[in-house]
Amino acid sequence: MKAKILLINLIFSTLLSSCSYWEGAFKEPDPTVGMSAAQIYGEGRSFLDAEDYPNAIRYFDILEARYPFGIYSTQSMLDLAYASYKSNLKAEAIVGCDRFIRLYPNHPNVSYAYYLRALSNFNIDQNFLTELFGQDPSKYDVSKLRESFDDFSVVINKFPDSKYAKDSRNRLFYIKNMMAANELYIAKYYVKRSAHVAAIERIKYLLVHYNGTPSTEEGLLILIESYKYLKMNDLATDTARVLKENYPDYTVMNKNGIVTVKKKIKVVKKIETQKDNGSSWFDFLNIYNYF
């Protein structure tokens, strides 16, 4: 009996050792064995320049694990974050930027870390399907856009002379418009549900934080209608006055304390073009006109 148990244990041990042998036999050899930090970084940088981002990530990961300190490791953190961003691994890119900002807050390239983190948050929900169907980001969760807005703000405030400041400023305008549109979208949803108090609070938030955006005009109109629905005619009148002041195309009428607003319709004169009685080039090329 003991001999049988010993034999079974021996067989299992042999099988396990053979599995580990074959696993090692098919494992790809490490190409960086014996390479210095400079050599590993050079290889990773070559892959990055060639836009071979998976291999660039592989080399930068090895460099950070094997040589966690030094100038090459510091630079590879940013390169790794960029390679992750280009590989559509936005969450990994954000983690890399967070780590760099935490470890090197006074580094000369920390502005790039903020900028890259902002870009990653800006595009984190973007993929092939969203581009194909042209989904409106203002109708979805904008929490990542808020984080992106904060990082772009850091870039233009702390590093106004950096080469990322101009693009950051342009993206700030876009994000501000998207966040305003999100508030407007939610307010319109509340109006459909007759939750006018909630709609008013959303529009107030829009006007305080995102005033001057394209959503302001429609927001004021919703505010007027919600005040009228709640019989707050004085507030509706004041809001209509603000609307008229900022958008002169509107006419405001007050009848028996109830305000109404209408937008003037611009008449565009049509310019009649004289018809050419001659044959067009299509008629000339159409072979059926010759039969």
Least confident of 175-179, 224-228, 255-259: 255-259
* Alpha helix segments (H runs only) across 87-133: 90-103, 110-122, 128-133
Higher pLDDT, 275 or 202: 202
32: tokens are: 């960086």
Helix (H, G, I), strand (E, B) or coil at 274: coil
Q: What is the mean pLDDT of residues 80-91?
A: 94
21, pLDDT greater than 70: no
Least confident of 92-101, 123-132, 247-256, 263-272: 123-132
State pTM to two decimals: 0.71
Q: What is the mean pLDDT of residues 161-171?
A: 93
Query: For residue 6, what pLDDT is reported?
Result: 55
Query: For residue 5, what pLDDT is reported?
Result: 60
Query: For residue 24, what pLDDT is reported?
Result: 45
Band of pLDDT at residue 26, cut at 50, 70 and 90: very low
Q: Which residues pair with 253 in a beta bridge?
A: 260
Query: For residue 194, what pLDDT is reported?
Result: 93
Query: For residue 92, what pLDDT is reported?
Result: 94
Rounded to whole angstroms, the Cα distance separating 141 from 121 reads 12
Query: For residue 130, what pLDDT is reported?
Result: 43
Q: Which residues pair with 259 in a beta bridge?
A: 254
Q: Which residues pair with 261 in a beta bridge?
A: 252
| Percent composition of the chain: helix, strand, coil (DSSP 3-state, to 5) | 70, 5, 25
Band of pLDDT at residue 266, cut at 50, 70 and 90: low
Band of pLDDT at residue 287, cut at 50, 70 and 90: very low
Helix (H, G, I), strand (E, B) or coil at 187: helix
244, pLDDT greater than 60: yes
100, pLDDT greater than 70: yes
**Cβ atoms of residues 178 and 194 within 8 Å:** no
10 Å Cβ neighbour count for 81?
27
Band of pLDDT at residue 3, cut at 50, 70 and 90: low
Q: Which residues pair with 2 in a beta bridge?
A: none
CATH number, domain 33-123 = 1.25.40.10
Residue type, 42: G
Domain ranges of the chain: 33-123
Model confidence pLDDT, tens digit, residues 105-157: 999 999 999 999 999 998 876 544 344 444 566 667 788 888 999 999 999 99
Query: For residue 9, what pLDDT is reported?
Result: 59
Rounded to whole angstroms, the Cα distance separating 220 from 212 reads 11
Query: For residue 259, what pLDDT is reported?
Result: 82
Question: Where would I find the beta strands (DSSP E) of the chain?
Answer: 250-255, 258-263
Question: Where would I find the beta strands (DSSP E) of 168-233?
Answer: none
214: tokens are: 């394209």
Tell me the pLDDT of the chain averaged across its residues: 81
Residue burial 223-248, b: 16+ Cβ < 10 Å; e: rest: bbbbbbeeeeeebbbebbeebeeeee
